[in-house]
Structure 1
Amino acid sequence: MMNDLKFELGQHVRLKTSDEEGHVVGRAEYEASEPAYYIRYRGGDGRQIEAWWGESALTEA
Protein backbone atom coordinates (compact mmCIF):
# COMPACT_ATOMS: atom_id res chain seq x y z
CA MET A 1 0.00 0.00 0.00
CA MET A 2 1.42 3.38 -0.98
CA ASN A 3 0.94 6.54 1.05
CA ASP A 4 -0.06 9.71 -0.72
CA LEU A 5 2.65 12.20 0.11
CA LYS A 6 1.16 15.53 1.17
CA PHE A 7 4.03 17.80 0.10
CA GLU A 8 5.87 18.00 -3.23
CA LEU A 9 9.59 18.46 -3.83
CA GLY A 10 10.32 22.19 -3.95
CA GLN A 11 7.13 23.10 -2.10
CA HIS A 12 7.29 25.96 0.41
CA VAL A 13 6.28 24.70 3.88
CA ARG A 14 6.11 25.99 7.47
CA LEU A 15 7.16 24.23 10.67
CA LYS A 16 4.00 24.19 12.82
CA THR A 17 5.53 24.92 16.22
CA SER A 18 8.11 27.55 15.27
CA ASP A 19 6.63 29.26 12.18
CA GLU A 20 10.01 28.87 10.43
CA GLU A 21 9.60 28.34 6.69
CA GLY A 22 11.57 26.49 4.05
CA HIS A 23 11.42 24.19 1.04
CA VAL A 24 11.07 20.44 0.67
CA VAL A 25 14.35 19.08 -0.73
CA GLY A 26 13.71 15.38 -0.01
CA ARG A 27 10.89 12.98 0.83
CA ALA A 28 10.66 9.50 2.33
CA GLU A 29 7.79 7.14 2.92
CA TYR A 30 7.82 4.18 5.26
CA GLU A 31 5.76 1.07 5.78
CA ALA A 32 5.23 1.59 9.51
CA SER A 33 5.44 5.35 10.17
CA GLU A 34 4.36 8.68 8.76
CA PRO A 35 6.07 10.16 5.70
CA ALA A 36 9.09 12.38 6.38
CA TYR A 37 10.40 15.41 4.53
CA TYR A 38 13.91 16.86 4.36
CA ILE A 39 13.45 20.60 4.73
CA ARG A 40 15.96 23.37 4.00
CA TYR A 41 15.09 26.45 6.00
CA ARG A 42 16.50 29.46 7.84
CA GLY A 43 16.48 28.91 11.59
CA GLY A 44 15.38 31.54 14.08
CA ASP A 45 19.05 32.46 14.59
CA GLY A 46 19.56 33.08 10.85
CA ARG A 47 21.53 29.89 10.09
CA GLN A 48 20.63 27.66 7.15
CA ILE A 49 19.38 24.32 8.45
CA GLU A 50 18.54 21.06 6.71
CA ALA A 51 16.61 18.48 8.74
CA TRP A 52 14.10 15.64 8.45
CA TRP A 53 10.60 16.40 9.79
CA GLY A 54 7.54 14.15 10.02
CA GLU A 55 4.53 15.15 7.94
CA SER A 56 2.54 16.03 11.09
CA ALA A 57 5.10 18.73 11.99
CA LEU A 58 4.58 20.62 8.72
CA THR A 59 1.92 22.78 7.11
CA GLU A 60 1.60 24.58 3.79
CA ALA A 61 3.17 28.02 3.82
Structure 2
Amino acid sequence: MEPKAVFKFEMNQRVALSMSGEYGVVIGRAEYLDLAPQYYIRYVDGTDRQVQDWIPESALTAL
Protein backbone atom coordinates (compact mmCIF):
# COMPACT_ATOMS: atom_id res chain seq x y z
CA MET A 1 0.00 0.00 0.00
CA GLU A 2 1.27 3.47 -0.92
CA PRO A 3 1.89 5.99 1.89
CA LYS A 4 -0.74 8.69 2.24
CA ALA A 5 0.15 11.99 0.55
CA VAL A 6 0.99 14.94 2.71
CA PHE A 7 -0.31 18.21 1.33
CA LYS A 8 1.52 21.46 2.03
CA PHE A 9 -1.71 23.51 2.07
CA GLU A 10 -4.97 22.76 3.88
CA MET A 11 -8.48 23.02 2.49
CA ASN A 12 -9.86 26.57 2.82
CA GLN A 13 -6.35 27.93 3.49
CA ARG A 14 -5.53 31.35 2.03
CA VAL A 15 -2.68 31.24 -0.48
CA ALA A 16 -0.98 33.59 -2.94
CA LEU A 17 0.03 32.83 -6.51
CA SER A 18 3.78 33.36 -6.34
CA MET A 19 4.35 35.12 -9.66
CA SER A 20 1.28 37.38 -9.86
CA GLY A 21 0.63 38.10 -6.19
CA GLU A 22 -3.05 37.27 -6.65
CA TYR A 23 -4.51 35.44 -3.68
CA GLY A 24 -7.36 33.11 -2.93
CA VAL A 25 -8.37 29.98 -1.05
CA VAL A 26 -7.74 26.27 -1.57
CA ILE A 27 -11.01 24.59 -2.57
CA GLY A 28 -9.56 21.29 -3.82
CA ARG A 29 -6.41 19.18 -3.86
CA ALA A 30 -5.11 16.42 -6.11
CA GLU A 31 -2.22 14.00 -6.05
CA TYR A 32 -0.75 12.16 -9.03
CA LEU A 33 1.81 9.44 -9.56
CA ASP A 34 4.06 11.52 -11.83
CA LEU A 35 3.26 15.13 -10.90
CA ALA A 36 3.64 17.39 -7.89
CA PRO A 37 0.47 17.98 -5.86
CA GLN A 38 -2.00 20.38 -7.47
CA TYR A 39 -4.44 22.72 -5.74
CA TYR A 40 -7.75 24.02 -7.02
CA ILE A 41 -7.72 27.71 -6.08
CA ARG A 42 -10.60 30.20 -6.12
CA TYR A 43 -9.23 33.72 -6.50
CA VAL A 44 -9.87 37.13 -8.05
CA ASP A 45 -7.67 37.64 -11.11
CA GLY A 46 -6.07 40.82 -12.46
CA THR A 47 -9.30 41.77 -14.26
CA ASP A 48 -11.30 41.57 -10.99
CA ARG A 49 -13.10 38.39 -12.04
CA GLN A 50 -13.54 35.47 -9.66
CA VAL A 51 -11.92 32.41 -11.21
CA GLN A 52 -10.97 28.87 -10.22
CA ASP A 53 -7.97 27.00 -11.56
CA TRP A 54 -5.58 24.13 -10.80
CA ILE A 55 -2.22 25.50 -9.64
CA PRO A 56 0.92 23.44 -8.86
CA GLU A 57 2.15 23.47 -5.27
CA SER A 58 5.43 25.15 -6.29
CA ALA A 59 3.54 28.20 -7.60
CA LEU A 60 1.77 28.91 -4.29
CA THR A 61 2.76 30.50 -1.00
CA ALA A 62 0.84 30.53 2.27
CA LEU A 63 -0.69 33.77 3.55
- Residue aligning to 2:10: 8
Residue ranges of structure 2 left out of the alignment (5+ in a row): none
Distance in 2, matches of 1:26 and 1:42, equals 16
Unmatched segments (≥5 aa) in structure 1:
none
1:3 CA drift (Å): 2.8
Q: Match of 2:58, SS?
A: helix
TM-score (norm 1): 0.94
The amino acid that maps onto 2:40 is: Y
Aligned-pair Cα RMSD in Å: 0.8
State which of 51, 54, 62 in structure 2 corresponds to 1:60. 62
Select which of 20, 26, 29 maps to 2:28.
26
Quick one: percent identity of the two aligned structures?
Answer: 49
Highest CA radius of gyration, 1 or 2? 2
